[in-house]
Amino acid sequence: MRDIMKKIGKGLLCLTGAGVLFITISAIVHAILTPKEKEVSRIRLGEKLKTVEVNGQKIAAYVTGSGSKTIVLLSGLGTASPIADFMPLAERFSAHYKVVTLECFGYGFSDRTVGQRSNAAFINEIRSALKKLEIAPPYILMPHSISGFYSLYYAIHYPEEVGAIIGIDESKPNQADTAKYAKKKMVFWLSWLSPLNSLGILRALIYLIPGSAGILKAYENNRYYDEDQKKLIRSANAWNAFNSTIGNEFNSVYPNGKELFGVKYPITLPTLSFLAKDTVEMSKSMVEKNNMSKDWLTLHEEVISNPAIQKVEILEGKHYLHHTQADKMVELTEDFIATCVK
């Protein structure tokens, strides 16, 4: 029996040693590859990739196109590379507009921060970055998902700087009051996912186990993305997935929503919301199961204060609607801007 226990102990010791060795190698490889990959991607993106300092840290932006109106693309929660993710829209809009894709702290090429991820913090960062990029308002904000919160906050507090909001299946504050899951913090879940990022283990999973990062499947065989963009998206997920800054943003969803409960769009603000049919249908199912008290369409309609210039358009597709509907979205956006935005 004693011999058996010794063998088990030795086995466990070997496994522990192998685990420590794997983690050490993973962390070293991650630390070496991340800056090299970023530099390669910076060179590929060229001079359109800009970096500015905000609150002592760096925020990245991709600036393209020209025109009298500026569209500012703001990403959804956890989108590792906003620049690559929004590239199909940025390229198409650049024919007629100046287009800025901002990467807030924790995303893409930007630094991480331990600061608050409140609505006010995001808007301070966005406004400061745009000012340092020497891009003057008013802006046409184009938020995806959670950035709908920040865009509404921006329009309420600085109405003279927001010429319109054109949302991509964007979140609405009352969503955080009607959906049960939104009130739950994810501290425990993120407490172990964030170290996995720092130690490079998520990188290992992404590269060694195809299909482990489900979000990447949306870009495969997608005509809107070229190989360089796909490489950047894969690399950025290795850099940024579940980092501590994004974790803090996850845990700020409910308080950020609560701050804006019941708020409607300013009556003079032109808005257009592109809703994904899949999200609309899923929300109806959640209402039926008592997991939400209001469906997705209702949440978007109830913030409208002026139906003459505030519209909702449902398009076939999933939550990342621009992955499949970029051409249609650009066409409808250009018509909307020509008709409703001064």
CATH of the domain at 237: 3.40.50.1820
Q: What is the mean pLDDT of residues 228-250?
A: 89
Host domain of residue 144: 47-340
In a domain, 111, yes or no: yes
In a domain, 70, yes or no: yes
In a domain, 35, yes or no: no
- Of 286 and 17, more confident: 286
Look at residue 202 in the predicted model and tell me its pLDDT. Answer: 75
In a domain, 97, yes or no: yes
Give residue-wise pLDDT tens across range 36-57. Answer: 989 999 999 999 999 999 999 9
Q: What is the mean pLDDT of residues 46-70?
A: 97
In a domain, 31, yes or no: no
With a cut of 80, say whether residue 62 has pLDDT above it: yes
Question: Do 83 and 232 touch, CB atoms closer than 8 A?
Answer: yes
Give residue-wise pLDDT tens across range 139-191. Answer: 999 999 999 999 999 999 999 999 999 999 999 999 887 766 555 555 545 65
In a domain, 5, yes or no: no
Average pLDDT across the chain, whole number: 89
Look at residue 199 in the predicted model and tell me its pLDDT. Answer: 74
In a domain, 183, yes or no: yes
Q: How many domains does the chain have?
A: 1
- Of 187 and 208, more confident: 208
Band of pLDDT at residue 15, cut at 50, 70 and 90: low
- Of 268 and 217, more confident: 268
Look at residue 21 in the predicted model and tell me its pLDDT. Answer: 65
Q: What is the mean pLDDT of residues 289-305?
A: 93
In a domain, 63, yes or no: yes
Look at residue 112 in the predicted model and tell me its pLDDT. Answer: 94
